[in-house]
Structure 1
């Protein structure tokens, strides 16, 4: 597989995703906080974005079920785990708390680097530090076993 054919789909997907986040206003932390403020000045924009994502994924899952192999790959890489372990639950809780406080999650934060780097940079730096800490922690855990 050529390098262009390998890199083009993720690049195009990332650009489309970033543009969608920007157009929908999800790079604005106030939109997310407004969605979470259900007893105040509630902003339903994020709900519409989520509904749109669910519709797109429902169509994608149906299409994938009928395909023998992906268009730009040899095999599908689908999740095979269905259990809920403590790492997943704790990670989801930390993600949700951080998302509620900052009004950003990784996708919108990366997209925001192009629009308002000074506002997004502290979040992205903290996110990268957390990812590094997790990697170091897991490597130590694996080396002990």
Structure 2
């Protein structure tokens, strides 16, 4: 079973690399060239930079919460998702807590992340 999970995880990761364009060294180098002609298209969607430029209480509290969670669990979101594929129990706990925290944030803030409108078929 462990080999099957590793195979599925590897296939999913490989497909993600292909879809994102990370198999193309020129695209990766352009993404990493932040001091030159930076190309953020590796992220797949238009880059929307925040317009807020002040340090406020929600930013500080969110940063502290993220840092405390990272320090306690030893995971940040990306590697935690990868660790799910290894069957790591701590990763399942961390991801569950992360999703719960995101849901609580949505309830408190009453905002939703923007969703792209789906194209409609013309009849």
TM-score (norm 2): 0.55
The whole-number CA distance in structure 2 between the counterparts of 1:118 and 1:74 is 32
Relative distance call for 1:80 and 1:139 in structure 2 (3 A) is: closer
* Paired position in structure 1 for 2:69: 98
| 1:49-64 map, 5 Å | 59-64=33-38
Return the alpha-carbon distance in structure 1 between the equivalents of residues 101 and 37 of structure 2: 36
d(CA) in 2 for partners of 1:76, 1:133: 26
Q: Give the Cα–Cα distance (whole angstroms) in 2 for the partners of residues 106 and 74 of structure 1.
A: 19
Structure that is richer in helix per residue: 1
Structural mapping, 1:39-118, within 5 Å? 59-64=33-38, 70=41, 76-118=47-89
Instruction: Note the C-alpha offset of 1:76.
Output: 4.2
Give me the whole-angstrom Cα distance separating, in 2, the residues matched to 1:136 and 1:111: 27
TM-superposed deviation, 1:114 = 1.1
| Corresponding residue pairs, total | 88
Over residues 46-103 of structure 1, what are the superposed CA-to-partner deviations in whole Å (9 max), with x where a residue is unaligned? xxxxxxxxxx976235222xx7x95897954233322111101000011111111111
Asked which structure has the greater RCO (Cα within 8 Å, sep 6+), the reply is 1
CA RMSD, 1 decimal: 3.5
Does residue 93 of structure 2 align to residue 119 of structure 1? no
Displacement of 1:117: 4.0
Distance change >3 Å, CA 124–CA 72, structure 1 → 2: closer
Question: Given the two structures, how large is their TM-score scaled by the length of structure 1?
Answer: 0.48
